[in-house]
């Protein structure tokens, strides 16, 4: 029998997916039998220890291709396949990752007839997710208010997300555990130290500011570009933004309009952003909102100073409300640019940043999840 199954929309990429994988590996190290169940695979399965099994619902599906295509577009439609998995694998607990995965997990438990605890996890402020102009979710508030109370436990990735969820879904706040993400793993240091063949990061070159994330409205890289233009007007510097998304053409045009295109690069998605963070002069997060902000933790773990918007969600919590990095108002490019200049002119000592990052280690966070699993009757045997 599987001890814990994690359910995510897809593999291998994504912040929620990485949380599930990091927890799965850490729990497997402790002798737990773990499955990571994905509604679909969007590439080769991740390389994991033998004790962690990856299950693709696509591979289990017997539905017609057009029905499977609909399931790919709307995750709760994968509930029948997930129910079949539950009947076969009989896990002692199911941990879902993200709002639509939460709904699918609750529906699958009912369809399967299997009596097991379902742990829901929320990774962004749900009220802001539903109002996101780039991806409006009209029915999600109603569905969350109707079905989330059926979760045996509910985890939010930050206090801010937990408070928002309690208010928006009308849940008692004490029902929600705020547990940060397991970002720092034993492999992180080696990945950060990997070779980086990039001329902008060679000795003697101007300092590089780095941003990482989807090129999407939520990340507000337009504010970062305007802040960088303010920096560039005062001193030599460069900006690298790692990630891909539908905002790329707009951002490239904005860089041209601001006159900084020669000092800005958009390399797209890269497999190892940690190698860039370790060599950058400062990490910049310009988001309108975040759930936790895993990339902020990764930057701290690389010893990279951070400037972040004080947006709803987790960045301020990660940075100790200013103790471990600079916070600026959302959308204020002048304040953002001034904070970047201050860091470039007076870099912080890295040791406090590294110490803070250890609070987000997989071993520390796995203990919190095991407490939740024990409370719902699925703790270690």
Residues forming a β-bridge with 308: 285, 327
pLDDT digits (tens, 9 = 90+) for 341-351: 999 999 878 99
Residue 35: C-alpha distances to residues 24, 203, 358 (Å): 8, 45, 26
Dump the DSSP string for 358-369. GGGBHHHHHHHH
Cα end-to-end distance, the chain, whole Å: 12
Q: Which of 210, 184, 364, 185 is nearest to 278 (CA)?
A: 210
Check residue 139 and give its pLDDT: 85
CB–CB of 283/117 below 8 Å? no
Task: Say which residues have a Cβ less than 8 Å from residue 198's Cβ, sequence separation at least 6.
Answer: 276
Q: What is the pLDDT of residues 184-232, one digit of tens each?
A: 999 999 999 999 999 999 999 999 999 999 999 999 999 999 999 999 9
Going from the C-alpha of 61 to that of each of 81, 94, 105, 327, the distances in angstroms are 6, 19, 16, 47
Residue 37 near residue 8, CB atoms below 8 Å: yes
Strands 34-41 and 52-56: parallel
DSSP state of 78: G
Q: How many CA atoms lie within 13 A of 5 on its CB side?
A: 30
| Alpha-helical regions (H) of 90-181 | 99-112, 126-131, 140-147, 159-169
Banded pLDDT at 282 (limits 50, 70, 90): very high
pLDDT per residue over 47-77, tens digit each?
899 899 999 998 766 554 555 555 556 899 9
In the chain, the domains with their CATH numbers are 4-182+361-375 (3.40.50.2000), 188-359 (3.40.50.2000)
Tokens of 170: 């009308």
Q: How far is CA 297 from CA 75, 159, 303, 347, in A?
A: 29, 16, 10, 18
């Amino acid at each position: 029998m599987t001890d814990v199954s994690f359910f995510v929309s897809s593999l291998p990429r994504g912040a929620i997916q990485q949380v599930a994988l990091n927890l799965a590996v850490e729990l497997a190290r402790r002798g737990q039998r773990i499955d990571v169940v994905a509604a679909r695979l969007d590439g080769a399965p991740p390389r994991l220890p033998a004790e962690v099994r990856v299950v693709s619902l696509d591979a289990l599906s017997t539905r017609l291709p057009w029905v499977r295509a609909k399931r790919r577009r709307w995750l709760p439609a994968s509930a029948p396949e997930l129910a079949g998995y539950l009947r076969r694998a009989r896990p002692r607990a199911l941990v879902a990752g993200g709002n639509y995965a939460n709904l699918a997990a609750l529906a699958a438990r009912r369809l399967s007839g299997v009596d097991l605890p379902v742990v829901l996890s929320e990774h962004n402020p749900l009220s802001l997710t539903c109002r996101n102009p780039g991806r409006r979710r009209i029915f999600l508030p109603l569905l969350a208010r109707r079905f989330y109370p059926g979760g045996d436990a509910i985890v939010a990735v930050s206090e801010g997300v937990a408070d928002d969820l309690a208010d928006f879904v009308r849940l008692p706040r004490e029902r929600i555990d705020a547990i940060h993400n397991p970002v720092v793993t034993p492999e992180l240091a080696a990945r950060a130290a990997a070779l980086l063949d990039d001329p902008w990061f060679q000795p003697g070159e101007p300092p590089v500011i780095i941003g990482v994330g989807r090129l999407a409205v939520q990340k507000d890289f337009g504010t970062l570009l305007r802040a960088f233009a303010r920096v560039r007007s005062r001193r030599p510097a460069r900006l690298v933004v790692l990630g891909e998304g539908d905002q790329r053409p707009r951002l490239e045009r904005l860089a041209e309009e601001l006159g900084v295109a020669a000092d800005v690069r958009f390399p797209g998605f890269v497999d190892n952003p940690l190698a860039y963070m370790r060599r950058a002069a400062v990490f910049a997060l310009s988001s309108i909102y975040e759930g936790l902000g895993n990339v902020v933790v990764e930057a701290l773990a690389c010893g990279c100073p951070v400037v972040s918007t004080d947006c709803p969600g987790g960045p301020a919590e990660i940075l100790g409300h200013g103790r471990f990095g600079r916070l600026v108002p959302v959308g204020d490019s002048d304040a953002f640019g001034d904070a970047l200049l201050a860091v470039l002119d007076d870099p912080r000592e890295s040791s406090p940043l590294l110490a803070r990052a250890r609070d987000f280690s997989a071993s520390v966070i796995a203990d919190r999840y095991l407490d939740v699993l024990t409370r719902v009757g699925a703790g270690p045997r």
